[in-house]
Amino acid sequence: MRALHELDASTAATLLERGEITAEALTRSCLERIEDLEPRVQAFEALDPDLALCEARRADAAGRPGPLHGLPVGVKDIIDTADLPTARGSPIFAGRRPGADAACVAALRRAGGIVLGKTVTTELAYSFPGKTRNPHDPARTPGGSSSGSAAAVAAGMVPAALGTQTAGSLIRPGAYCGVVALKPTHGLVPLDGVSPFAPSLDTLGVLVRSARDLPLLLAGLGVLLPPTAPIGRLRVGLCRTEAWDGTLPASRDAVARAAAALALAGAEVTEVEERFAGLSDAQRTVMAAEAAVTLGPLRDAHGDRLSPQLRALVADGERVSPEALATARGAAEAGRARLPALFARFDVLLGASTQGEAPVGLTSTGDPALNRIWTLLGTPCVQLPAGRGPAGMPVGIQLVGARGGDAALCAAAALVEEVLGDA
């Protein structure tokens, strides 16, 4: 059998439920992996090995109750945890000790999950990078803002981790690090106890190693997906949004390979004419305006303790007129109104997760251009690894589902993952 830290979440949960492995042994294996690789990857902001092992022993003694059965999970450091600090990626909150778990963390614990540690986030989940490196090449960004969560899963430090997305903060690091990421339908998972950024966009999701892990993690978050009918002939819409023009050959080739493999496997793959023009700018407008309300008081109180990037975003948001914000929100509503007709024709939309491979350098976390539209529209999205680019770094494809269609999207993602694995 593989080393325990190499197991995907669903395999580990099955073995835990059967009593073939213990939560303590799995947690210990993850901690040993962290000890080996953390100096290179730097995925964790806060870690208490003794506390994690104590939780694991309690899970074993309790008979592994709940769907997560003693599974270790990393938690992004903008999500409150009662027993570990939550610094939100900012010196302003260094050493902050929340009084209670966030709703999602409380749900994980009720489901038998173990909080292994707090993973690195960019500053307040915006663009100023943290210390994390891409585990495939430490000279490259892991993406952001869920940097540590994606890197920890990719490096074998933890089988699953929580992250958030306001523009591209789950899908992009998932693609750069070569793991599976889910941004659910907006509002599906409660955000109580999660540091807010732009509330109409903020979405809590997960990073895992296999698409078949996604329903398990959602169940651990208290979201039980309804049963779905067996997928017959998958209807795939090849969707090149207005952001497609900025993609590089690595991403374009990954999408083309996936489309060809799906067609060969019997899927119906059809070009989508809709490009969702203007929605990338609308997302920028809404995000800046809401961030100015959410983070403006922090800027006023702490000034230059915030990065220039974040101060600039708040300033941009303060300049958004009520008319411009209403126009952007109207464009989002119009885009959402077009979705039902589109998903009457297609089960999923297929596109690129990122512009290309993870960029070299650690001063930027990359561009979320391919993610903005779907975050604005609130649709569920799954990033799937889809090979390597010319630099040998992971590239991914993005599957988009109908709003509220998370169960169908997860089922389709598992099917597509199987097809790509066989291609």
Write out pLDDT tens, residues 309-346.
Answer: 999 999 999 999 999 999 999 999 999 999 999 999 99
Considering the domain boundaries, does residue 191 fall inside one?
yes
Confidence class for position 278, pLDDT limits 50, 70, 90: very high
Say whether pLDDT at 62 is over 70: yes
Q: Which two tokens stand for residue 221?
A: 């978050």
Is residue 10, in this structure, part of any structural domain at all? yes
Task: Examine the residue annotation and report whether 145 is marked as an active-site residue of this protein.
Answer: yes
Exactly one of 10, 29, 127, 145 is catalytic; which is it?
A: 145
Residue 388: inside a domain: no
What per-residue confidence (pLDDT) applies to 373?
A: 98
Contacts of 301 (CB under 8 A, 6+ apart): none
d(CA 390, CA 65) in angstroms, rounded, equals: 45
Residues 366, 359: contact at Cβ < 8 Å? yes
**pLDDT score of 91:** 97
CATH number at residue 70: 3.90.1300.10
User: Contact at 8 Å (CB) between 146 and 169?
Assistant: yes
Out of 29, 76, 146, 149, the active site residue is 76
Tell whether the model's pLDDT for residue 210 goes beyond 90.
yes
- Burial grade of 147 (CB within 10 A; 0-12, 13-18, 19 or more): buried
Do the domain assignments include residue 278? no
Percentage of the chain with pLDDT > 90?
A: 98
> From the candidates 127, 146, 169, 307, which is the catalytic residue?
169
Q: Mapped to the 3 state alphabet, what secondary structure does the chain carry?
A: CCCHHHCCHHHHHHHHHHCCCCHHHHHHHHHHHHHHHHHHHCCEEEECHHHHHHHHHHHHHCCCCCCCCCCEEEEECCECECCECCCCCCHHHCCCCCCCCCHHHHHHHHCCCEEEEEECCCHHHCCCCCCCCECCECCECCCCCCHHHHHHHHCCCCCCEEEEECCCCCHHHHHHHCCEEEECCCCCCCCCCECCCCCCCCEEEEEECCHHHHHHHHHHCCCCCCCCCCCCCCEEEEECCHHHHHCCHHHHHHHHHHHHHHHHCCCEEEEECCCCCCHHHHHHHHHHHHHHHHHHHHHHHHHHHCCHHHHHHHHHHHCCCHHHHHHHHHHHHHHHHHHHHHHHHCCEEEEECCCCCCCECCCCCCCCCCCHHHHHHCCCEEEEEEEECCCCCEEEEEEECCCCCHHHHHHHHHHHHHHHHHC
How confident is the model over 152-171, as pLDDT tens digits? Answer: 999 999 999 999 999 999 99
Residue 369 in any domain: the answer is no
The mean pLDDT value for 78-84 works out to: 98
- CA atoms of 72 and 216, how far apart (whole Å): 13
**Strand 348-352 versus strand 268-272 pairing type:** unpaired
Nearest to 204 by CA among 176, 183, 231, 178: 183
Q: State how many domains the chain has.
A: 1
Place of tokens 């610094």: 87
Give mean pLDDT, residues 284-307: 97
CB 75 within 8 A of CB 81: yes
Per-residue confidence band for 65, with pLDDT thresholds at 50, 70 and 90: confident
Tell me the pLDDT band of 237, cut-offs 50, 70 and 90.
very high
pLDDT at 1: 64
pLDDT digits (tens, 9 = 90+) for 360-381: 999 999 999 999 999 999 999 9
Residue 303 resides in a domain = no
- Is the confidence at residue 423, as pLDDT, over 90? no
Structure tokens at 384: 């799937």
Active site residue 169: yes
Q: Residue 185 belongs to what domain range?
A: 6-220
222: left (phi over 0), alpha (psi -120 to 50) or beta: left
pLDDT at 422 over 80: no
**Rg of the chain over all Cα atoms, to the nearest angstrom:** 20
Residue 233: band (very low, low, confident or very high) from pLDDT cuts 50, 70, 90:
very high
**pLDDT tens-digit series, residues 144-153:** 999 999 999 9
- Residues 197, 237: Cα–Cα separation, whole Å: 32
Alpha carbon distance 133, 129 (integer Å):
10
Q: How far, in Å, CA of 67 to CA of 114, rounded?
A: 12
Residue 267 domain-assigned? no
Q: Is 147 a residue of the active site?
A: no
Give the number of C-alpha atoms closer than 13 A to the C-alpha of residue 11, restricted to the C-beta side.
14
Q: What is residue 63's predicted lDDT score, i.e. its pLDDT? A: 84
State how far the Cα of 156 lies from the Cα of 8, in Å rounded to an integer.
9
Report yes or no on 276 lying in a domain. no
